[in-house]
Every structure is written in C-alpha cells, then in structure tokens.
Chains A and B, each alone.
Chain A
Amino acid sequence: MFYAIAVFAPLLGSLIAGLLGRSIGDRAAQAVTILCMVLASICGVASFIDLVYNGVPAGVISLGTWVEAGSFHVSWALRYDTLSAVMVAMVTCVATLIHIYSVGYMSHDKSNPRFFSYLSLFSFAMLMLVTADNLLQLFFGWEGVGLMSYLLIGFWYHKPSACAAAMKAFIVNRVGDLGFAVGIALVFFVFGTITFGEIFEAIGAHQNDAYQVFGTSFRAYEVIGILLFIGAMGKSAQLGLHVWLPDAMEGPTPVSALIHAATMVTAGVFLMARMSPLLDYAPGALGFIAVVGGSTALFAATIGCVQNDIKRVIAYSTCSQLGYMFIAAGVGAYQASIFHLLTHAFFKALLFLAAGSVIHAMSDEQDIRKMGGIWKKIPITYTVFWIGSLALAGVYPFAGYFSKDAILEAAYAAHSASGTYGFICGLLAAFLTAFYSWRLIILTFHGAPRADHHTMEHVHESPWVMTGPLILLAIGAITTGIGFHEEILGEHWHAFWGESIRIASTNHVLHDMEELAPWVGLAPSVVGLAGIALAYLLYMGMPTVPAQLAQSFGVIYRLLLNKWYFDEIYAALLIRPITALARLLWQVGDATIIDGIPNGLASLTSSSSGQVVKVQTGSIAHYAFAMLIGVVVLVGVFLIFR
C-alpha cells in the first residue's frame, strides 16, 4: 500500500499542478507537488525499511491487465523487491529535495506550475520504470522519463539552444530505444513472456538458444544482452550515444540534478541490474558492457579536465561515473553498480545543486573562467561543494570511496581481459576525476575574482530553501557509503538483496573481491589524492602553467576541448548525409510525387463525392429501385461466380 502511494503520489501532484496550476497559483502548485513528493518519499523509505529490515516479503502488487493479445499478456503491476525498493526510496528522497530546492532556484520564473508539474510527472515515470514488473511497463516508464527529459531540457523553449538540446537528447535516445525495443521483442520470442518473474524462472531452459545469421551462430542471450545494453547506452549516455548529455545542461539546474545526474541517466544501470539473471549467462555481452563502460569512464574524464562551463564539467563527470557503474555491471558485480548508483545519486545531485547555487549567486554566470574568489561569500555552498567533490573523488570516508573502490576491486577480481581493461581505465579516470574536481573548485571559488565588479557585489548565499536540501544531500553524500557498505556488498549481501539480484553459480566476484592484494584497494585513494595534489599544484601554485600546457600540447588540448570532435564527426557522417537525403526526399519525393498524387486523388475524390451524392434524390421509389437492383446484382454475382 505504502509502495503504491509512493509511486502514484507524484502523479497526483503533477496532475493537480499541471491541470489546475493556472487557477490555484504558483505557491499552491509548489505546495501540492512538494507535499505529494514528501508523502511519496516517506512511503518509499517506509516500504524500503519494511522490506529489508522488518521482513515484509517481496512480491508483486497487481494493478490490472494492460494488454491481452493471444499469448501476449502484460499487466500493470508494481514489483516489490529490494532492487526496486532501494530505487524508489532513493528517487523519492532525491526528488523531494530537488523539488524543495527548485522553489528557491525557480523563484523568478514565470511558469512555475508547469515546471513543478513536469518535475513530479518525471518522478512518477521514473518510479514506474523502477517498479515495473515487466519489460513493457519498464519501457513505458523509460519513454516517460525520456519525454519528460525532453520537455524539461527544453523548458525554456524560447532559447533556441535549449530546443536544439532537447531535440538532440530525444533523437539520440531514440537510437538506443530502438535497440531496447528489439531486445524486448527478442525476449518475448525466446521466453514467450516479458514478465520478469517468468523470464527468470525460464533462464535455465533457453540457455542454448541461438540464431543463425550469415552462417554464424549467435547465442540468443548474447544478442538480447547487447540489444538491451544499447538501450541502456542511450539513456545512460555511454560512449557513442553520450553526445546529448552535456547539451542537456541547457535545462534548469534542478533538472540536471534530478534527471541527468541522480535518476534518469542511471536507468540503464538499473536495467542491467534488473536483467542480471539473464546477463550472467551472456559473458560476451558482459565483456562488451565492461569495455564500453571503461572507455566511457576514461573518455569523459579526459574531456572534463578542460571544459569551462561549470555544469558541463559535472555533466562529463556524470558520464564518467556512469561508465564506472557499467564496468561493475560488466564484471557481474551488479550490487556494486547499484551501490555506486546510490551514492552517486546523492553526491552528484549535491554537486549539481551546489553548482546551481553558485550560478544563482553569480547572476546566472556559468563560465568558470569568469568566477573565482567567492568562497568566503558563499560558505555553505563552498562547504557542500567540497563534500560533494570529496565523495566524487573517492576520499575516505565519503560515500564515493566505498562504491568506487568496490567497483575497481571487482574489475580487478574478475581476472578477465575486459575486467582488467575496465580496471585500468577506471584507475586512470579516478586520477582525472580528482584532478578536474579540484580544478573546478579552485577556479570557481579561489583566486582573484574574474567576474565584473557589478556581479561580484551581488554575490550572496542562497536562501534556506536551497541550502537546506544541499545540507541534507551532503549528509547523504557522507553517510550512504559507510552506512550501507557492509550490507550491500559484504558477506551477507544475499540477506539484503533477497531474490532481486540473482547471479549464476559461476559468478563469485563479490567473494573474490575480499581476497585481493592490499594495493588494489589502496590504489584508487592514492591516485585520487595525487590528482588533487596535481590540481592544487597547477591551479593554486602555478596558475600560469595550465595555459602554457594548453599551448604546447595544442592538438591534444583542442581535441579535448572539442570533446574528441564527436559532434563534428556525427555531423559529417550522419547528420549531413541524412539531412541531404531528407531534403531530396522532401523536395522531389514528397513535394512533387507524394503531394502530387494525393492532391490529384483529393480532387478526384471530391468530384466522385459529388457524383455519389447525386443518386440520393429523396424519392422512395428510387430508393426501392436501388435496393432491387442491388439484389439482382448480388444474386447475379453469386450465380456467375459461384
């Protein structure tokens, strides 16, 4: 019951704010959505505690039948197990804090009810996604969050860049969704069902199903795993389909915090964990996941080192951290990936909101080259930014330390080529992460003020509705790691996860993690501290060196600054040819041929309409006559063609 309330309260809030927003006013709309979210988070946390600590059995809450077509059954149902409950608790809590924060951040905006309605609707879609009991409902939530992401990125629709970013996000996600949809279809073909429980029951039976394509045999599980991962790549901005995430920062900052840091982008990781029983039988797909994850982690970290927009730096850092989560999933340590998802949700939301607070203080300036010297004026923001960065860099005892450590240990413990690749990428990325985090802190808060006089005068700490959530998130960023570490990953992980994550008997990564050489556990901390030290050295100690470095390694610098030219390559390889083809089809195919046919047909249709109606004279005799002729013709047709 609590569980259902947690899922549907945001929908209620959203509907009220969205439909009645104009009549009840901004304040009421905010109050309604926040109240609903608070209610949802209380219920979400309560159902999580009930499940994990009070021994309430896991189960499925059925809401009704959705599709019933032949052998294809889909129902609306909420899946109640640890994986879903953890996500529900996390999503509702973070979303609540972000709702509260938005009251302050969006206080100058004119369309508040719309914003809060979208935000709540997003929360609902996300909750539908994580509580889905079957792939179709999950897809419903998946598309729901995609749609809300589109609407929220383009929230300021009068800005062309925001509209372009929104469309980019939507279109890139389509590519991934195609893979996902085909994956769902394949799951149905293989298992005859798309309900999780039934799929997992039948895992053993279809192990050796295979497809023959071009004389090569592909195992069904591998194909499904890779297709589902392609879907996850789109949503979670993995290498290749990551291009939309940095641009998505055009949306309001609370949106970036909620959607593009804490919740939606982690949906792909969630999907991997949800499908863990299947993926465990698909080693090839797992290797692919680990390699893509590792590459993304490193690749995004390199870009993060040179970006100048405060939100973009954090966005690339998100991309990179998502890569970590996929490394963990790719070596079979789904628990670790969800653990990192959890801690990341707190510290990354914290970082985004703190960045929002900085932007708010700096009169909507986002370029860190025009900041500096403000740490004394906004002490709370400064403190929480430190906490967030410490957690991100993985410094003991902050949350990121435990989860990132676990991922790297798992990658090492996997003793596979892909695992080792992930470990190396992850280690390098950890160094870069620490480096760009402190580069960001130093450039933003320290040094001589580089903003103009006018702006500097207005620098002020944010109101309590913004700092309050920051402090709460900071507490989360400190405690989630140390608090849950033992339960989620320790010897007794099975007691915590129950049946929600089922791994094959051959998978003992978690066990192996305990028996590694000590240096593996220490390495991330060491490289992290080294990265911090380097950042201090370069930006605090010798502020002129970075510019010189950029000059002397111009090629690399420009490569990184332009994000490895991904956008340009896509533009040249895909967008321009497609646009040209589309233009051709439009002008020749559509305007000339296709428009010509219907226009001709339309005039033909309307003239024949006139002819048809002429028969309608109004005389009974004519009508009776027509009936008789009809009978004669029908009998005639029958007699002739019988």
Chain B
Amino acid sequence: MNWTLAIPEIVLSCCGMAILLYGVLSRGNAFFMSSMLSVGALLLTGVLVLSTDAGSGFFGLFITDAFSAYIKLTILVAAALSIVMALGYAEHANMQRFEFPVLILLCSVGMLVMASASSLMTLYMGIELMSLSIYVLAAFARDDLRSSEAGLKYFVLGALASGLLLYGISLVYGFAGSMSFDALGAALADPKKVSAGLVTGIVFIVAGLAFKISAVPFHMWTPDVYEGAPTPVTAFMGTAPKVAAMALLVRSLAGPFSDLLGQWQQLIILVSIASMLLGSLAAIGQSNIKRLMAYSSIGHMGYALIGLAAGTPAGIRGVLIYLVTYVFMNSGTFACIIAMRRRGRAVEGIADLGGLSKTDPGLALALAIFMFSMAGIPPFSGFWGKYFIFSAAVAQGMWPIAVIGVLTSVIGAYYYVRIIKVMYFDNAEPAFDARPASLSFVAAASCIFTTFFFLFPAPLVAAADAAARALLG
C-alpha cells in the first residue's frame, strides 16, 4: 500500500484539524496565531514533500515523482503567501477568523492530492476537496453581498463543471475499462482501442479542468468571482488552485492520454488561443483592478496551455516554469492590491493608483515590476516563462500559435503598461494608508524573485526539467 508516500498530505490534514481545534478552544481571536501555525504547517509539509521518495502507493491511486514534488512545493509556497497576505487584510471584520487559514490548509491538502493523483477517482476527490474549500472561502465575507454572490456563483458553476468532469470520467471508464492512469496508458497505447467515446470523455474531462484554470469558454465565472471575493481569497484563487488544476491537466493529458496527443492537441490549441485572445482583449476596458487581474489570469493560462499543446518535455518544462513565475507575479500584485486602502476603506479602481509613484514610490515600483513582468518584458521572470513556452512551441513547428501568443501579449502589454502610466504620470490621488508589514513582505519577496530570476534561473529550470522528464520519460 505504501502509505508513507502520502505523509505530507496526512501531516497537513492533521495540522489543519489541530489548528481548527486550537481555534475553537482558544479564547479571544485566534486568527493571527492560527495563521502563523498554518504557515508553519505549510513549511513543514514542504520539507516533508522534499524528503518523500518517488513511488506509487494506495494500490495505484497515488503517485509521487519529481513532477508532483515540483507542483506541491509551488502550491505550498502560494498558499503560504496567501495566508501571510490575509494577515494584512482588514476590510471585513469577519475575515479575521481562524477558519480562514484552516480552510486554506484543507484546500491545500486537496491540491496536493491533485498533484499526486494517478487515478481519475483520486483526481476527482482532490478537485472536490479543493473546490469546496474555495467555495466557502469566496463567500467568507458573508455580510458582504458581493462576496456571497461570488461564492454562490462559483459554487453553482463549479457544480456544473464537476458534473462535466464526472461525466467525462464515466465515459472514459466505460470505453477504456479503467480509471487508473497506468492501466489507461497501457490500454491506449493500442490505437485500435481508441474509440470516439473515449476521446469525447477526454473532452469532457478537459472541460471540467479548464473550468478550474478559467480557460475560455469556461472562464465566465472568473471576473465576477475575482471581483466579489475578498481580495486575499482572490489572490489565493489566482495562484495555487490554478497551479494544481494545470498540473492535473498536464498529468492526465501528457500521462495516460499522451498517446492520443494528436486527438487532444487541437482542443488545447483552440482553448489556448481563445483564452489568450479574450484575456488580452477584455482586460482593456476594465477599470477595476481585480477584474483586470481576472482577465489577465485567463490570458496567462492561455499561454501556459501552449506549452502543454506542444506535448514535449520542453513544453511541459515551459508550463512548469511559467506557473512558478506566475505565482510570484500574481501574489506580489495582489499584495499591492490589498495595500490599496484609503482612510480605512479598500479601493479597487485603476484610477485610484494615480500618482502612486509620488505618494508611495516603493509600492509603485513593486507594482510596476509585476506589471512589466506580466507583460513579458525582459529581464523579469514573466519574460522567461513566456520564452520557454514559445520556444518549446516553435521547436514543435507550432509557429502560428506562438505568433498569436506574441501578438496577444503585445495587446496585453497595453493594459499592464497603462497601470504603470497611471502610477507614474497621472495626477496624484491622496496617499494610501500605511501598509502592514505582511503585505510589504509578500510584495518584496515576490519582487525579488521576479526581478532577479534571470540571474539564477538554473535551479528552477533544472527542477522543471526533471519534473517534465518524470512525466514524459
């Protein structure tokens, strides 16, 4: 059975429950303490992930390899950054509750399971654990109508996506006769066994997962939920779950279904192009920075999908590098967005950033760096993420999609740079409130990674390479 492979997940869930107990039993507000404990638990889990051997456990339901370790570490870092960020969020009194970090921990357990899934059933359970936690988190500010609306919307549409996913799984099971990735891979190696039903099942599975990474046309929830949910939750939703869902997409398509590359490749390309186009076009008209980030994340997932569509180890490596750079850019940007508070009220308009370079040059510089990075301007990490993706696509002869990617990132650069223009050249708005140390920490850490990635890219590239090779051999 080899249950020791799941020690990180087991420890993390136990920590989550222990912190829950602590929060219930302690007097006074246990938010800060439980947040700190949760960060500690995530770090501990990270160490455990690093010390876990590669192997397959739980009768083939669970697998650990370089790929899962890479994804898990990314998820843990993203979750820890979100918890730290939430410490500095004071918009809704209701947010300062110990259940918040606990839910993020349990959500992380779900995502870790997703990263290690080696059966369609494990995949589904991981997704459900993750999603349910996020539904609750999105509605966490329950006295805020927008937050409740966001939670409900996400829940209903998420249920629909789960339905699609389950339907796809049942089709695949019905036509291929197995849910285990190993058995599926072995069965599909024989082209005679590939039927239309099977691939239709894959289409449904892709649709269910595409919902989670908010790829077009399953993206509709994203702007509304991003805008409505409390900002730390939005920051969390924008990073770790995207990584986990993308990892699942990669693991299932490049794993058991890798022999059907020719079948799903065109779907991924289609979704990718649509996401890139919509992400860059729709963001232009936005005036709310959280909505803008929603469209931006749609676009970013489109770029990441290019690497998957390439279907080579280089492409997967590109996706993995892209995800890490994306996590840091996004976390940093959201730390800046949470810091946008004026006289105790959060402001979210892009116009509110006017003249930020004069009132708070540090924040303006950090945000400018993130925007440049998102736009893919060298030498920031965002450029390298795109670089690895596009070069993998070109190496496969996928010129058109690479060209479209470059064109849409030019369009995208427009709205990213517009924010910089507003900060540096527009008339100064009143200064923001003093920002909490936790936000400065997250912004600074992300900033350092984003700016200096190009000096020492080798460790990350090597790790991503190992992960990609673990998947594709």
Residues of A with Cβ closer than 8 Å to B? 64-69, 602, 605-606, 608-610, 612-613, 615-616, 618, 620, 622-624, 626-627, 629-631, 633-635, 637-639, 641-642
Partner of B263, one of A602, A624, A629, A638: A638
29 contacts between A and B (CB under 8 A): A64-B456, A65-B459, A66-B456, A67-B458, A68-B461, A68-B462, A69-B461, A602-B414, A605-B414, A606-B285, A609-B281, A610-B285, A612-B281, A613-B282, A616-B223, A616-B282, A626-B217, A626-B220, A627-B161, A627-B207, A627-B218, A629-B217, A631-B207, A633-B217, A634-B203, A634-B206, A634-B267, A638-B266, A639-B200
Given A605-B284, A606-B285, A638-B267; A627-B459 close (CB under 8 Å)? no
Interface size on B, residues (CB 8 A): 43
Docked complex Cα distance between A618 and B156 (Å):
13
User: B211: CB under 8 A from chain A?
Assistant: yes
Other contacts beyond A623-B153, A634-B270: 18, CB < 8 A: A65-B456, A68-B461, A609-B284, A609-B285, A616-B224, A618-B224, A620-B153, A620-B156, A623-B157, A624-B157, A627-B217, A629-B217, A634-B203, A635-B204, A637-B270, A638-B199, A638-B203, A641-B266
Partner of A627, one of B211, B283, B411, B455: B211
> Which residues of chain A have C-beta atoms less than 8 A from B156's C-beta?
620, 624
Partner of B220, one of A65, A623, A641: A623
Q: Are B266 and A616 in contact (CB under 8 A)?
A: no
Docked complex Cα distance between A638 and B462 (Å):
36
Q: Are B284 and A606 in contact (CB under 8 A)?
A: yes
Q: Are B281 and A605 in contact (CB under 8 A)?
A: yes
> Which residues of chain B have C-beta atoms less than 8 A from A612's C-beta?
278, 281-282
- Smallest beta-carbon distance B288→chain A, Å: 12
**A634 (CB) vs chain B CBs: closest residue:** B203
List residues of B (406-460) whose CB comes within 8 Å of A's CBs: 411, 414, 455-459
User: Contact string, B187-203, partner A, CB cutoff 8 A, digits 1/0?
Assistant: 00000000010011001
- Smallest beta-carbon distance A619→chain B, Å: 9
Docked complex Cα distance between A331 and B414 (Å):
56
> Which residues of chain B have C-beta atoms less than 8 A from A637's C-beta?
266-267, 270
Docked complex Cα distance between A238 and B332 (Å):
49
Docked complex Cα distance between A356 and B161 (Å):
77
Given A612-B278, A616-B223; A627-B458 close (CB under 8 Å)? no
Main secondary structure of the interface of B (DSSP, over half): helix
Partner of A67, one of B164, B223, B414, B457: B457
Docked complex Cα distance between A641 and B262 (Å):
11
User: B50: CB under 8 A from chain A?
Assistant: no
User: B21: CB under 8 A from chain A?
Assistant: no
Given A66-B458, A67-B458, A69-B461; A639-B196 close (CB under 8 Å)? yes
Given A66-B458, A69-B461, A627-B160; A642-B196 close (CB under 8 Å)? yes
> Which residues of chain A have C-beta atoms less than 8 A from B462's C-beta?
68
- Smallest beta-carbon distance A65→chain B, Å: 4
> Which residues of chain B have C-beta atoms less than 8 A from A624's C-beta?
156-157, 160
- Smallest beta-carbon distance B2→chain A, Å: 33
- Smallest beta-carbon distance B320→chain A, Å: 15
Partner of B221, one of A67, A602, A606, A623: A623
> Which residues of chain A have C-beta atoms less than 8 A from B196's C-beta?
639, 642
Given A64-B456, A606-B284; A630-B267 close (CB under 8 Å)? no
- Smallest beta-carbon distance B221→chain A, Å: 6
Given A608-B281, A609-B281, A627-B157; A642-B199 close (CB under 8 Å)? yes
Q: Are A631 and B164 in contact (CB under 8 A)?
A: yes
> Which residues of chain A have C-beta atoms less than 8 A from B199's C-beta?
638, 642
Chain A CB within 10 Å, residue with most, of B204, B211, B218, B286: B218
Q: Are A631 and B267 in contact (CB under 8 A)?
A: no
> Which residues of chain B have C-beta atoms less than 8 A from A639's C-beta?
196, 200
- Smallest beta-carbon distance B283→chain A, Å: 8
- Which 6 interchain pairs have the tightest Cβ spacing? A630-B217, A68-B458, A65-B458, A623-B220, A609-B284, A612-B282
